[in-house]
Chain A
């Protein structure tokens, strides 16, 4: 963005959810958009720049989709703040674009009244107008424009129709220049302190809307047969959950089976470039820091990028097509009975790839207590970083024997068991939380099911780009720092001007120090060292153990590493280690993100301690019983 922020006029895009707001935003701004946070809250701020004729530009802010302004939810509160000019970092918009789904005009126009009270230049966009006409609906724009006193434009944002008229409006606003500021009339909505008149307000508002669209000869469109037919299957009593299950399995398959070749490729790339660099550097501590510290550490995070992208690709398609709402509803039926919300289903699913983006995704959960519960149990979802550890230990200690005939052997069963353990811990913890720390009435859950629509490549692409950038920045930064620290721990105290043998390094001494504490679990100081390094990221333990045993090219398939482990651990201890990894919170990035999302150290501390305790007891029990 070339012009300084704040000097261009600001227009706010506002409307109910599922009205095509984001599509319009993307069409107008393209990649010239930035995603950030409204300060102090977890609502996303989307601001973009629109390039107009004659070098004119203006800023467009895509406000969260809202149904009202009562500030009951965080989205509504933030929207209200922005509209009234109270949001820090954004001055009051100079104009508004209100976009609604013209196929549901009667309920969507409920927003018009409070918006008009702001007395800002407003453009009313009737989106999905193609669909309105196709399904036999109609409305007279001019009469609407007259009645409300605003300009009315019909669009089909996905196909890009009607955009020129929207741009014409924006152009007119840009010509006026920024800061045609006026005193904003407060949005007149009743506060929650007065419940009875609320019903009257809405009833009157509805009556007025009905009157206006009656005059505008509005004819509601016929039902969308496409949506009806699909919902007959997707919302079927039995068929619905089956389809849901199939979709979940498909997403899993994609994350694991399809991502593997991509991940291997990334791994090769990282290792290859590491070697290339190492060959061109002299053997100094700096080279060691760069290759063994930074490359190894950051590389272990970058390796998960293909998985994260595939997951988000699927989630983007499911979300934009409208199916995700159905999935959330089906999931809600089960989830609210254990204390989680249906909307938490999507973040929880994401947790199977990586908890970091999943915790960020938990912002879609409206109720703050539900959101906290979701964030708290998310790390129990078996993330990809646990897999190398599981793979190594299972290969070393579980003999392969058929269990369900050719369908499943003991090894696969163990892996499945670990997944189930994680999920059970998540459910049990959520249940517990809702009865103790986060006790409270569950709020009313009303979920709107939008009509099915074919997703556009553009919007999914933009979203993918955003999410991967955020993941790399967040996780990458933390891992980078921690990798350096751990590397440093292995480098001191110096012996003959070089790094010490691993057992006598600082890290080794820490391992010896905690040995008495982990001895009841069957662990020795070597595993102790691994547990410390895996605090950075779980899979780091594989490399650490390799270094300790002096194994070249340590990986989960390395036979010599497996042999070494068999010599040092009993079966009980190995299973205990598996259980430990299933339960413990061993991820600095997760802790950092939880701290951000809960604005404090209290929740990450409780979470870490709780999971550590559970891991310890679980591992001890496993070691005892086996």
Chain B
């Protein structure tokens, strides 16, 4: 498996924009199929945000992974739209389990 380090942020657990370091952040890549979670914030540089923002992927929206490739790249359903993401990007989306989801 070739994780192209140059394409990812320096470390996965880097400080969030407001300065707080949250080492137990849940990432989209940790969520099992079929579970709906809420997007909390992006761990991505600004210019990479745009394709997501334009398609309505914003903090506060609900996401649900519905499929995954053998490599781990997910397909998520976001408020009626199905989006395919690369594994690295899924690792940069910080999410939170809602009250309706199983613990």
A-B interaction? yes
Please list the residues of chain A having a beta carbon within 8 angstroms of any beta carbon in chain B. 67-68, 70, 72, 103-104, 106-107, 110, 192, 195-196, 198-199, 202-203, 206, 220-221, 227, 231, 235-238, 240, 325, 329-330, 332-333, 336-337, 441-449
Contacting A at CB under 8 A, from B35-80, are 42, 44-56, 58-60, 66-71, 73, 75, 78-80
- Binary A-proximity of B1-43 (CB < 8 A = 1, otherwise 0): 0101011000000000100000000000000000000000010
- Is A446 touching B83 in the complex (CB atoms < 8 A)? yes
Report whether A72 and B50 are in contact in the complex, using a CB–CB cutoff of 8 Å.
yes
In chain A, what residue has the closest Cβ to B80? A104
Given contacts A195-B46, A442-B4, A444-B89, contact A107 B80 (CB under 8 A): yes
Is B66 touching A231 in the complex (CB atoms < 8 A)? yes
Of A107, A195, A329, A441, which is within 8 A of B55 by CB?
Answer: A107
**What is the interface residue range for chain B against chain A?**
35 or more
Cβ A237 vs Cβ B81 within 8 A? no
Give 21 pairs: A residue, B residue, CB < 8 Å, sorted on A.
Answer: A68-B54, A70-B54, A72-B47, A104-B80, A192-B47, A196-B46, A199-B53, A206-B58, A231-B75, A235-B66, A238-B70, A329-B73, A330-B69, A333-B70, A441-B6, A443-B48, A446-B51, A446-B84, A448-B83, A449-B75, A449-B82
Choose from A199, A227, A337 the contact partner of B49 (Cβ within 8 Å): A199
- Residues of chain B within 8 A (CB-CB) of A202 are 53-54, 58
- Known A192-B47, A442-B7: A107·B66 in contact at CB below 8 Å: no
Please give the distance in Å from B78's CB to the nearest CB on chain A: 8
CB distance from B46 to the nearest CB of A (A): 2
> Are the CB atoms of A235 and B56 closer together than 8 Å?
no
- By beta carbon, the residue of chain A nearest B6 is A441
* Cβ-defined contact, A198 with B46, below 8 A: yes
B73 surroundings in chain A (CB, below 8 A):
329, 332-333
Closest to A451 in B: B82
Q: For residue B7, give the distance in angstroms from its CB to the closest CB of chain A.
A: 5
* A203-B59, A236-B67, A237-B70 known; A446-B47 Cβ under 8 A: no
- The answer to whether A446 touches B52 (Cβ under 8 A) is yes
A111 to chain B, nearest CB (A): 9
Report how far A196 CA is from B47 CA in the complex, Å: 10
Report the minimal beta-carbon distance from B38 to chain A, rounded to whole angstroms: 14
Distance, CA A443 to CA B7, complexed state (A) = 8
Evaluate contact between A107 and B86: CB separation under 8 angstroms: no
Report chain B residues within 8 Å CB of A196.
17, 46
Contacts of B67 in A (CB 8 A): 231, 235-237, 240
Q: Describe B's contact surface by its main secondary structure.
A: mixed
**Most A CB within 10 A of own CB, among B45, B50, B66:** B50
Given A107-B79, A195-B45; A445-B55 close (CB under 8 Å): no
- Whether the pair A106, B58 counts as a contact (CB closer than 8 A) is no
Contact B69 A110 (CB under 8 A): no
Could you list 16 further interchain pairs (A-B, Cβ under 8 angstroms) beyond the known A220-B80, A442-B7? A67-B55, A70-B54, A104-B81, A107-B78, A107-B79, A195-B49, A199-B49, A199-B53, A237-B70, A329-B84, A332-B84, A333-B70, A444-B51, A446-B51, A448-B82, A449-B82
Q: How far is the CA of A110 from the CA of B89 in the complex (A)?
A: 23
Instruction: In the A-B complex, list the 3 residue pairs whose CB atoms are closest, starting with the nearest.
Output: A195-B46, A107-B56, A67-B54
Give the distance in Å from the alpha carbon of A192 to the alpha carbon of B73 in the complex.
27
* Contact A446 B55, CB 8 Å, known A235-B67, A235-B75, A337-B2: yes
User: Smallest CB-CB separation from B67: which chain A residue?
Assistant: A235
Which residues of A have CB within 8 Å of B82?
Answer: 227, 231, 448-449
Interchain CA distance A592-B84 in the complex, whole Å: 35
**When the two chains form their complex, are residues B84 and A449 in contact, meaning their CB atoms are under 8 A apart?**
yes
Chain A residue with Cβ nearest B89: A444
B19 to chain A: closest CB distance in Å? 14
Are B83 and A198 in touch, CB under 8 angstroms?
no
Neighbouring A residues of B51 by C-beta, 8 Å = 67, 72, 444, 446
